[in-house]
């Protein structure tokens, strides 16, 4: 167990077992005070793996909320109402930091209690900041649900039904006899440890429970019975002036991300971070949670700046855009599909790191992204230089943090005879199109896997990867390599919750067509002009590809043929390969 030292705080007839972390009597009056609040069915031991990291920066305290651990267990259900729990929290804040403001980090029902506390009149005189993990404001939740039903849309109804399904267990918790018996029978350390490991991959050794787990499970059910029906039926949302960071977990088994979309209407100062993590973040990803809390608290407290700063991009100033708080890297961002993808990601609120071999064009894209209200930084990068790609990934991590989204888009084209192409042409093609994608995926993929909270890699392949053509053999080989590599990498990174998508556009008019080399062509300029005019007439623009890229990230798709001819070619090659081979004999350029 962690280095906790107990004392008691009294609020009325309830004694709250309160704990300081570290050496008793250690004098650190200059450090900010942080109070950690657990949820159901945990105790202060939920924070055993988070507290040591926080204690390097802050004075750290935790307590067992009423009904849990070594604190008083009231019998009456009404004793667990949120207003009483908020008074408990304020009493602990006054006890651990009587002359200053306390930073709250809270999880699950601890976060629900903290929401009640920070929306209590005068809370901003006592609480300096609130990091909310997997626990909504129940009044805001009720308001959200009523709005979805009052003005139903297909998307809104789907969101509401998804949350109802995720919260179905709470109906069972409302039945005292059945739910109490269930946890009296199955509420053991071993069963709960295996449950957490099964539902979100929590390392078994990370699950930290006190000796009162079974009793905590049963008495903690009164939280549900005392609060949920009343709050959801008659929500009374109140504002807060306390700075709030919402840590939203996309894989939360109990809470869907959509339920937080109205928080900005009540919180004056709101930040949001969203990752592919599960409900029990303090157990499963304690290092990430600790670092996130440290950065936020240091930002609010005005202490030593944490580098790199990832909090600034998480600020919510209005309706939260889908990718707020995310960092996206796009190569080949100076034009075409890369530039339009950068614009699409900027529209969704992501911070952009934009790389191109032509730095001026990348700068132009960055300026346009900044005009959309997001940070954007341009870098010069030659993706054919493997060492340069590795240095670039390291530089991005040092200056901006670990990327959440990486789009390996940079590429060139080579058409004509494979036999007539020079070795230099072949080497350049493969170095940029294939090795560049592999290098970028490996460099950024390692960082994502090490961080442990997911991410997404998008690799630009092509319909040429599965559409056979005598004039595109070398180009097709490079893009088929991208496709197969992406599919394989997706399997490798799945355990790290990192998605990988291969995007396969067909005939899209970009500046690549105007710069394509035609090996063995009698008149290369004429061949290039002919194909470029055809692509112009086809008029499938890069912004349409960018929309599919963004959708693929959101839905974690594996392979996305973009244009109609790409979708047709994908199916022909899979189901009628003989027809694809016959079609490949037709020449597309002179």
**Cα 165 to Cα 228, 527, 587, distances in angstroms:** 15, 58, 55
Active site residue 475: yes
**Runs of H (alpha helix) within 323-472:** 336-347, 359-370, 386-400, 423-430, 436-451
Q: Cα separation of 108 and 56, whole Å?
A: 25
Q: Which residues of 117-135 are buried (b: 16+ CB within 10 A; e: fewer)?
A: bbbbeebbebbbbbbbbbb
In angstroms, how far apart are the furthest CA atoms of the chain? 94
Q: Which residues of 308-335 are buried (b: 16+ CB within 10 A; e: fewer)?
A: bbbbebbbbeeebbbbbbbbbbbbbbbb
Bridge partners (DSSP) listed for residue 414: 517
Q: Cα separation of 20 and 584, whole Å?
A: 72
Q: What is the DSSP letter of 404?
A: S
| Sign for the pseudo-dihedral over CA of 191, 196, 201, 207 | negative
**Runs of H (alpha helix) within 201-335:** 213-233, 281-284, 286-301
Pick the catalytic residue from 224, 260, 343, 475.
475
> Which helix (H) or strand (E) covers residue 32, if one does?
none
For residue 248, give the nearest of 283, 272, 280, 270 by alpha carbon.
Answer: 272
Phi, psi of 347 (to 5 degrees): -60, -25
SS3 522: coil
- In contact, 102 and 127? CB cutoff 8 Å: yes
Look up tokens 């002036």; give the residue: 241
Cα pseudo-dihedral 166, 46, 97, 17, rounded to 10:
110
Catalytic residue list:
475
């Amino acid at each position: 167990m962690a280095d906790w030292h107990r004392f008691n705080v009294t609020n009325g007839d309830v004694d709250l077992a309160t704990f300081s972390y570290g050496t008793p009597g250690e004098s650190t009056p200059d450090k900010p005070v942080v109070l950690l609040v657990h949820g159901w069915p945990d105790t202060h031991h939920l924070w055993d793996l988070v507290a040591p990291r926080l204690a390097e920066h802050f004075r750290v305290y935790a307590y067992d909320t009423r009904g849990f651990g070594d604190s008083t267990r009231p019998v009456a259900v009404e004793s667990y109402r949120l207003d009483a729990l908020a008074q408990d929290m304020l009493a602990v804040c006054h006890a651990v930091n009587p002359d200053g403001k306390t930073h709250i980090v809270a999880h699950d029902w601890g976060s629900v209690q903290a929401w009640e506390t920070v929306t209590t009149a005068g809370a901003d005189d006592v609480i300096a900041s609130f990091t909310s993990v997997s626990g909504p404001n129940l009044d805001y939740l009720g308001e959200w649900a009523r709005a979805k039903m009052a003005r139903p849309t297909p998307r809104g109804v789907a969101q509401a039904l998804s949350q109802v399904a995720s919260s179905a267990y709470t109906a069972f918790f409302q039945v005292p006899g059945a739910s109490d018996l269930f946890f009296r029978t199955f509420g053991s350390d071993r069963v709960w440890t295996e449950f957490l490991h099964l539902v979100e991959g929590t390392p078994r050794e990370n699950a930290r429970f006190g000796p009162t787990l079974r009793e905590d499970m049963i008495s903690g059910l009164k939280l549900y019975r005392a609060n949920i029906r009343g709050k959801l039926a008659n929500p009374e949302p109140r504002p807060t002036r306390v700075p709030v960071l919402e840590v939203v977990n996309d894989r939360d088994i109990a809470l869907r991300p959509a339920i937080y979309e109205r928080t900005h209407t009540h919180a004056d100062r709101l930040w949001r971070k969203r990752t592919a993590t599960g409900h029990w973040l303090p157990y499963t990803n304690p290092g990430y949670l600790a670092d996130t809390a440290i950065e936020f608290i240091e930002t609010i407290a005005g202490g030593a700046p944490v580098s790199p700063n990832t909090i600034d991009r998480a600020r919510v100033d209005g309706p939260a855009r889908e990718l707020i708080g995310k960092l996206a890297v796009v190569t080949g961002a100076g034009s075409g599909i890369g530039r339009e993808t950068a614009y699409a990601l900027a529209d969704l609120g992501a911070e952009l790191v934009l790389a191109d071999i032509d730095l001026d064009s990348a700068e132009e894209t960055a300026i346009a992204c900044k005009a959309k209200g997001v940070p954007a930084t341009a870098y010069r990068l030659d993706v054919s230089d493997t060492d340069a790609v590795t240095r670039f990934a390291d530089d991005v991590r040092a200056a901006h943090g670990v990327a959440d989204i990486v789009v390996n888009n940079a590429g060139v084209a080579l058409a004509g005879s494979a036999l007539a192409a020079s070795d230099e042409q072949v080497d350049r093609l493969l170095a940029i199109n294939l090795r560049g994608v592999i290098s970028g995926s490996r460099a950024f993929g390692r960082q994502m896997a090490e961080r442990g909270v997911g991410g997404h890699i998008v690799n630009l392949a092509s319909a040429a990867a599965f559409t056979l053509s005598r004039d595109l053999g070398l180009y097709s080989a490079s893009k088929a390599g991208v496709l197969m590599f992406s599919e394989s990498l997706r399997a490798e990174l799945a355990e790290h919750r990192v998605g990988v998508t291969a995007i396969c556009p067909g005939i899209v008019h970009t500046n690549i067509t105007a710069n394509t080399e035609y090996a063995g062509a009698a008149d290369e300029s004429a061949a290039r002009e002919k194909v470029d005019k055809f692509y112009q007439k086809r008029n499938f623009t890069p912004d349409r590809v960018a929309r599919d890229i963004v959708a693929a990230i959101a839905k974690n798709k594996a392979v996305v043929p973009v244009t109609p001819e790409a979708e047709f070619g994908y199916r022909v090659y899979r189901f009628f390969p003989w027809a694809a081979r016959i079609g490949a004999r037709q020449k597309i350029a002179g």
